[in-house]
Structure 1
Amino acid sequence: MKTRVDLNADAGESLGRWKLGHDSELMTHVTSVNVACGFHASDPVTMRESVRTATATSTAIGSHPGLPDLVGFGRRRMALRPDEAAQLVVYQTGALQATARAEGAEVVHVKPHGALYGMALTDPEITSAITEAVLRLDPDLLIFWLAGPTAELARSLGATVAREGFADLEYTDEGHIIVEPEPKAKDPDAVAQQAVDLLEGHVTSTSGKRLDVEVDTICLHGDRPNAVEIAETLTRRLDDAGVERVPAVQLLRG
């Protein structure tokens, strides 16, 4: 069982007066945060507030670039060329980098959001285009990709990759995650157990198939109704098991 792991959660997904998620509460439990950059959610002020909250809680900051689809929350696929998908990532990450710099903070990783992440899992050309674009933007940026072939492809291109597992999502027999259109409350103990399974090197698919997987970071979704309870239960379970929570950038770069 791994004794050190990064916990990451999405943040900054509110928009103006419309609020979503539990950013401040979650950032006391996770070690990395993925900040929405205005395409699937967020706005410039929300981005700034997310950066400030992350700084105050010593949470590592990453960009969470998504598809330009506010109504669909970036969870609906779009027909994009690989270079178009990559430029969406560069554009949004650059906006967050500027926001962070103005606050005396730093963006240290990139994690594509929603359908954009899912499109990369089934299209190696999109994975390659996004990964290469991130390396051109800043070779020191980490990139989060689903543990398995996608992460290994990005590694082969020279990127420092945090291999990601999901504690609160189900897996197909092929090792792909099943993204819910509208996240519901989940049993905190079941989510915590899946996190422990991931640290032990496996996860069980919806059909009961055991999948071997090695992760560096585990994701929790902040837009679940009981996200805070899930985070509290999971972190207690990790603490009881002697697992140290460490930002991915520190885990992988030292």
Structure 2
Amino acid sequence: MGQIDGWEINCDMGEGFGRWKMGPDEELMKHVDVANVACGFHAGDPSTMVRTVRLAKQHGIRVGAHPGMPDLLGFGRRRMAIAPEDMYAAVLYQVGALSGILAAEGMPLNHVKPHGELYFFVQRDAAIRDAVLRAVRTFNVPIYGLPTPQMVADCERVGVELIPEFYTDIDYDSRGALVPVAESVPVSPQMIRDRILMIAITGQARSATGTTVDIPLGMGGFSICIHSDLPGALENAKAARAAVNEVKKGIRISIY
């Protein structure tokens, strides 16, 4: 089963393809706790997956699978009409591939975290959510996701542990739902710091419209997400790590 310490930082990695690199994975490994490794559908390929797993092993980083839509051209962020059973098979296929690589390197699979549009698809479509959760259950690991009432209930029904996530580099809307990457404002390291400290102090986030919204992360552990493909990813990760260290040390902190 996966591990969680309450203030971990996870980062999407291995999102290049062939000769094309996406994100400063080597540098990011020094500032995060968990790597979500792309499994070949939205990004990644076998050699990239092996390299990323070995890099994570070198840095003592836990590794989870990052399955996505079959959408290399759109980086897994476009809507597609996919039948639930096809989605079930696609998630089994992707997570199974990474599990084999991890086994070869003597590492456990820590979790599954859907990527991009699949992450949103799971939230809005009950049949897709069920299909993905059934696939994840096969591997006996948690799923990372938003702790909406529907997600919490279905995880309990299917028997999959849910690790709630908090996002620092994309926006929340006025209802507390995530805003897609393409519609979010660019962030600075200072914004990353303030968002983490705000959730620590108040349990809230500031929405894209400027209002404050409650983020229901629950009483247990949760994970903070950083995207490796966004501009300034390395500086964002450094700012997130510094903010988490502030929270863990319990020093006097201020926001705004």
> Please, what TM-score do these two structures have when normalized by structure 1?
0.88
The corresponding residue for 2:189 is 188
The corresponding residue for 1:230 is 236
For structure 2, the residue ranges without an aligned partner over 5 or more in a row are 251-256
Which residue type is aligned with residue 168 of structure 1? D
The corresponding residue for 1:36 is 38
The corresponding residue for 1:78 is 80
Aligned-partner SS, 1:125: helix
RMSD: 1.9
In 2 relative to 1, CA 74–227 (structure 1 residues): closer, same or farther, beyond 3 Å? Answer: same
- Which structure has the highest strand share of the two? 1
The corresponding residue for 1:179 is 180
Identity %: 38
The corresponding residue for 2:15 is 13
The corresponding residue for 2:166 is 165
Which structure 2 residues correspond to residues 39-58 of structure 1 after superposition, within 5 A?
A: 39-58=41-60
1:117-155 C-alpha deviation (Å, 9 max, x unpaired) = 1111111221122112211x122x110111323541343
| Equivalent-residue separation in structure 2 for 1:130 and 1:88 (angstroms) | 9
Shift of residue 238, structure 1, vs aligned partner: 1.9
1:166-216 C-alpha deviation (Å, 9 max, x unpaired) = 011101122221122398852111112112223342112222332222330
In 2 relative to 1, CA 35–165 (structure 1 residues): closer, same or farther, beyond 3 Å? Answer: same
| Equivalent-residue separation in structure 2 for 1:72 and 1:171 (angstroms) | 22
4+ residue runs of structure 1 moved beyond 6 angstroms? none
1:72-93 C-alpha deviation (Å, 9 max, x unpaired) = 0100011012222222111100
In 2 relative to 1, CA 93–70 (structure 1 residues): closer, same or farther, beyond 3 Å? Answer: same
| Equivalent-residue separation in structure 1 for 2:19 and 2:70 (angstroms) | 20
Shift of residue 243, structure 1, vs aligned partner: 5.5
| Equivalent-residue separation in structure 2 for 1:131 and 1:163 (angstroms) | 15
1:66-113 C-alpha deviation (Å, 9 max, x unpaired) = 011100010001101222222211110000001111111121100010
Between Structure 1 and Structure 2, how many residues are aligned?
A: 240
